[in-house]
Amino acid sequence: MTDVSDAAAGWLARQLVNGDHFENVHDGTTYPDQGLTLDALFAFTAAGVASDSADKAAAWLARPEIIDNYLRLGKPTDSFAGPHAKLALAAQVRGQNPTDFGGVDLIAGLTALQTPSGRFSDKSQYGDLSNGFTQAFAVLALDRWQGAPKAAVDYLVGTQCPDGGFPLILGAPTCASHVDATTMVVQALVAVGKTAEAGKALDWLTGVQQPGGGFRDEDQTDEGNANSTGLAAQALRVGGRTAAADKAAAFLTSLQVACAAAVADRGAIAFDKTGFTQVSSLRASAQGVLGLVGVNFADLTAEGGTPGAPVLDCPVTTTTPTSPTSSTSDTTTTTATTTTDVTATTTTTTTAAAVVVVGNRGNLARTGVEIGLALWIGALLLVGGVLTVVLSRRRYAEARK
């Protein structure tokens, strides 16, 4: 029987463009989506399947034009902390050297962006896009390498809100706890031994969990979504909150596209209870897998991973005549299949895998930079695709009204 997380990871692997990456569409132009590609790489690693797809994704990410675009937007004067941190962590997860990934020293690039306060900030003509995800990923990546700097850990701890959660936007006048950001910080805090602070954050997370087990993004009023719930389930499992993690995993399982759907869609995790769309299910499946498996980013390893993209186990219905003389009476027989994966040598090319279609929504909050290029920059750079996720969720919710 194929595991829920395996089937979701298998579906995600079959959506990769040219078998090794995802893309982002803005104003009719297609751009590489390194953030979502990294999310998929983490998902494949966590599930322990599609290791061939993870290796191909890592090789794509290490291509000079891809890595330069992600870390610097191709500009030697710019450098972004979030991409350095997330890519450095991914390199280590896949057993590669983060000081020589695609010929780039990601560790040196990241540490060069640490400010005296301990915060990791961007150096860019477009402003500082760093946030709670950035700091958490930086602590995770550096702790896994040779230990996180004390100043970086102290800064992260110092961002905790009075209610116990952690904010997405750092340095805001009012500390607003954010589910997704809190889940990432919890994993970083557990990794560096800050269990008391992690415990307070976990208390806050369990307090905002919905009765059905899901977690909402800000401004949502429904049962929750797979993205936030996936990250929350991961953090809850890491923090030993087993009952809450089990409820979250059950919610994620309820969102999996089942056997009644089209064959190509089976196994995906839908964004929410309104149903499946390929675009919204890409990151939902990636983050959903992390929640179903429940392994800390600090402990993810490629060891033991197997190639191939598992498929959801579904019954096969065949119809055979009951007798040679019968003209109308048939017997329908249903048998269960146990196919768990495609062959490791099969490469699926999906040329129409639209990830995010970014529309004009006015100025970016807190930057004063015009939309368009700045929005694409944010979608490309923000760690974990935070801005992409927020915008795509809001657009998706609006479209379903």
- pLDDT tens by residue, 349-390: 333 343 344 332 222 222 222 223 443 444 444 443 434 433
Answering whether pTM is above 0.75, one says yes
Average pLDDT, the chain: 85
Mean pLDDT of the 113-130 span: 97
Q: How far apart are CA 80 and CA 154, in angstroms?
A: 21
- Do the beta carbons of residue 120 and residue 89 sit within 8 Å? no
CATH of domain 4-315: 1.50.10.20
Report the candidate in 278, 292, 340 with the shortest Cα–Cα distance to residue 314: 340
The sign of the CA dihedral 176, 209, 356, 138 is positive
Q: For residue 267, how far is the Cα from the chain centroid? A: 17
Per-residue pLDDT for 158 more than 80?
A: yes
Mean pLDDT of the 60-65 span: 98
Rounded to 10 deg, the angle between the 150-158 and 132-145 helix axes is 150
Cβ neighbors of 260 (< 8 A, separation 6 or more) are none
- Do the beta carbons of residue 149 and residue 114 sit within 8 Å? yes
Q: How far apart are CA 165 and CA 182, in angstroms?
A: 6
98-117 b/e (C-beta count within 10 Å ≥ 16 → b): beebbebbbbebbbebbeee
